[in-house]
Amino acid sequence: MRRAWLLTFFLLVVASPMGARAQSSSLSGQWLASPLTSSWNLGDWGTACGPRPGASQEPGGSVTIAQAGKELRISGAGRTFTTAECWEQFPGLARVAHSAGSTSWRTTCKTAPGDSRQATIVTTVTARGDTLLFDETGQYQFVIQGQNCTASVRRSRSYRRVPAPSPVASQPEGQPDQPASEAPASASKRTEAGPCSAPGKAARLEVRPSRKLVRPGERFAFRSRVLDGRGCPLGAVATFRFAREQVPAQWAEPGVIEVDAAAPEGEIAIVASYGGRHVEVVAEVASRERYEALLQTGDFDDRGESANAAVAVMATSAVGSEVAEARATSRRRTFVMVVGAATLFLGVAGLWVVQRQRRRERQRPSPSRDSAAPPGPAPKRQRLGAICPTCHAEFAPDAQFCAFDGNRLRPVSNPTEPPGGVCPVCGVGFDPGVSSCPKHDEPLIPAPAYTAVRGGPDHALKICPVCGSQYGGDSQFCGADGAALVAVN
């Protein structure tokens, strides 16, 4: 009995420290961090408080966790962080409490009592097997220019352990080394684990779709991913923000927009960012009737999404990205040459017409003094009441859209205003001052140059997919609702 008791005591004294050491070192290794999401709730927030904070998302990625005593040191995904500190790095914050265990860590940070910017941060990290959960809450109460600024935030992310590679089986003693050509099949499989087993640096940001049709009151999530030079996903995502004041909408969560139920038709420009690179995507708010009509144009799938992605190329030496950039530069150079040649041709043609007209006037016999008509005011030109700001074509007062470029007509007020430009891809016209097509990101060209490039009039019978009106001649858009016409088979 005494011997059994001594054996039990020995196991408790000796084995427990070994188990503790195993537990403490079991979290070291490679981990994959998810994006760090931040959600805010605002109380009093006057104009002196500055921009209103909103939901945001910081990219994740591969990290290395190392044990340092009772604490964890997490390196990667943008910074180095330990479980003995708060993630928030607000000026004036100091740690006031901390506890560390084998599977949980908790840290509290506060600003000084006399500081006008009061902040309290509580950071916790919890280990659950092969998963680490990070959670941080913050309370802020500032006084700026006599105005109270109160807000609270919650930050969260998770870490998932990356499995260690299986060890290579050693060669049995007494057997000669196998040549590389006769290596076991399992070894060749480990060698050919795939090009994405060791991802490289970020080289490309993709956001899909580049354009999305939404109805008022709907919610939609844009999808982003970051790739290395070989096209391997890195597990990181972009951060999103609205580009400017526009159609009423808000962030339901990072990357997910929710359009107000009473929102009018229009566009919502959104900027996605990662690694100092930015790309713009567009959510087009359309009424239910116009939504169905736009689906029939073929630019969107049955979910209202465009097929292409918005892409931003990082600074990289990858051959593929250099070739893609060279091809894009070549296409832009060719396009500029075509537009320049068309503009020069139109200028020469216009000069020839003017000279010919002057030559005819000089050759025309002058009327005799007796037959000269009495002087009087010159007849005024009869204006129809509506003009296209792109091509300056005039239409009846009841028309709303230009039949040649689809731009919305306006009353004739300033006929000397310079004309606008036309997108060479979709043929849509825009007001003066607009330099590029927001849908295709192509530089606009003058309306006469686009007409020359497109060629002569198409006399095929066409129909409006929205209202069913039929058109012929050179019309490309419906004058009632601006929809692009389609040919009647």
463 three-class SS:
strand
Residues 311 and 330 in one domain: no
- Residue 378 CA: distances (Å) to CA of 205, 361, 374, 375, 414: 63, 18, 12, 9, 20
Q: With beta carbons less than 8 A apart as the criterion, state whether 444 and 422 touch.
A: yes
Residue burial 139-152, b: 16+ Cβ < 10 Å; e: rest: ebbbeeeeeebbbe
Domains contained in the chain, number: 4
- CATH number, domain at 207? 2.60.40.1930
Helix runs in 141-199, H state only? 185-191
pLDDT tens digits for the chain (489 residues)?
555 555 555 555 444 444 444 444 578 889 899 988 888 888 888 888 888 888 888 888 888 999 888 899 999 887 889 999 999 987 788 999 999 998 999 999 999 988 888 999 999 999 988 899 999 999 999 888 888 899 999 999 999 998 876 554 444 444 444 443 344 444 444 444 566 777 788 888 999 999 999 999 898 999 998 888 888 888 888 889 888 767 788 888 778 889 888 889 988 999 999 887 888 999 999 988 888 888 888 888 888 899 888 888 875 433 344 444 445 556 667 777 777 777 777 777 777 766 666 666 555 554 443 444 444 454 444 445 788 888 888 888 788 889 888 888 888 766 667 888 998 888 889 888 888 888 888 888 888 778 776 665 566 778 888 887 888 767 888 888 888 888 775
450 three-class SS:
helix
**Residue 429: which domain range?**
383-489
* Entry pTM: 0.36
- Domain-embedded: residue 187: no
Residues 153 and 39 in one domain: yes
- Domain-embedded: residue 288: yes
- Domain-embedded: residue 194: no
Residues 302 and 205 in one domain: yes
Residues 331 and 309 in one domain: no
Residues 297 and 331 in one domain: no
Residues 223 and 290 in one domain: yes
- Domain-embedded: residue 32: yes
DSSP letter for 297, please: T
Residues 36 and 156 in one domain: yes
Sign of CA dihedral 184, 185, 190, 196: positive
